[in-house]
């Protein structure tokens, strides 16, 4: 199972849209067996795939009550099926804030590796695990990154956004002491065909020092409509330009991960 985190310290740049779209295309269009992890306390990905509830569940119990921590839970017991036959998920909600605090004060040796240990239980059942991270570099996100091979970082045009991705790369560099194979690859999102956007795109590919996906994600009102409908973009607007762009990303991802 190949584990991929989708993360950005900036909000409003298409992080959850990217995670949901990639997971949907991998599962429902490419026929891969996909497990989605929701690592964001907002639980938006859980809502997109119809797995959100207000009770403590999913990721919180996986990180706090799993057998690898001396608890009673096993990974398979916390996986929800979705309406899509190739996609399962471990959902999350606001309890993740408490989970972060509990992990921070934990004195156990597997404080940052417990997710990796828990996922090993089901690694043979899935081809890909796609993780939608929260914006903060907290203990939940650290667990996700320690378990991942690749961080996909959405970036939109802007100086603050550029600084955010540089900060993320620095934080990932620190984690390479624990996970030496972890790397970051950016996606330009909400790209418009104007001079500023095209110049920023050129900078990202030639001078930023950040590894980038070749295909950008174009700006479209359909992506915003999909979030209102709480649906993955390729399911909501199959023929839209954003769905087409994410298919290009997935093709490049498969080439990258599988050769």
**Distances from the Cα of 127 to the Cαs of 12, 184, 254, in angstroms?**
29, 20, 11
pLDDT at 11 over 90: no
Average confidence (pLDDT) over 86-99: 94
pLDDT at 159 over 80: no
Distance CA 132, CA 47 (A): 12
Closest-CA residue to 139 (of 113, 177, 164, 163): 113
pLDDT in tens, 102-127: 998 876 778 899 999 999 999 999 99
Residue-by-residue DSSP string for 130-162: EEEE-SS--HHHHHHHHH-SEEEEEE-SSHHHH
pLDDT in tens, 28-64: 999 999 999 999 999 999 999 999 887 777 999 999 9
At residue 150 the predicted structure's pLDDT band, cuts being 50, 70 and 90, is: very high
pLDDT in tens, 60-77: 999 999 998 888 999 999
Which residues 6+ apart lie within 8 Å of 258 measured at CB?
Answer: none
pLDDT at 197 over 90: no
Distance CA 66, CA 75 (A): 7
Average confidence (pLDDT) over 163-167: 83
Domains, the chain, ordered by start: 2-254 (3.40.50.300)
pLDDT of residue 236: 94
């Amino acid at each position: 199972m190949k584990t991929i985190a989708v993360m950005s310290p900036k909000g409003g740049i298409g992080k959850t849209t990217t995670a949901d779209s990639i997971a949907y295309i991998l599962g429902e269009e490419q026929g891969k067996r996909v497990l989605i992890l929701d690592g964001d306390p907002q639980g938006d990905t859980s809502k997109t795939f119809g797995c959100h509830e207000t009770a403590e569940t999913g990721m919180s119990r996986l990180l706090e009550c799993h057998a690898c921590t001396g608890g009673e839970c096993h990974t398979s017991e916390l996986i929800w099926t979705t309406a899509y036959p190739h996609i399962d998920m471990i959902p999350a909600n606001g309890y993740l804030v408490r989970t972060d605090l509990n992990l921070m004060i934990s004195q156990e040796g597997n404080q940052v590796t417990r997710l990796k240990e828990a996922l090993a239980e089901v690694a043979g059942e899935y081809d890909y695990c796609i993780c939608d991270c929260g914006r903060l570099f907290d203990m939940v996100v650290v667990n996700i990154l320690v378990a991942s091979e690749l961080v996909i970082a959405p970036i939109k045009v802007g100086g603050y956004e550029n600084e955010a991705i540089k900060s993320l790369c620095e934080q990932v560099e620190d984690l390479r002491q624990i996970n030496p194979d972890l790397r970051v690859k950016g996606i330009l999102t909400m790209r418009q065909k104007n001079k500023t956007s095209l110049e920023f795109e050129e900078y990202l590919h030639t001078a930023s020092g950040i590894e980038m996906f070749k295909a950008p994600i174009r700006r479209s009102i359909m992506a915003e409509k999909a979030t209102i409908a709480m649906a993955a973009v390729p399911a909501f607007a199959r023929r839209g330009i954003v769905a087409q762009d994410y298919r290009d990303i997935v093709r490049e991802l498969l080439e990258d991960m599988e050769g």
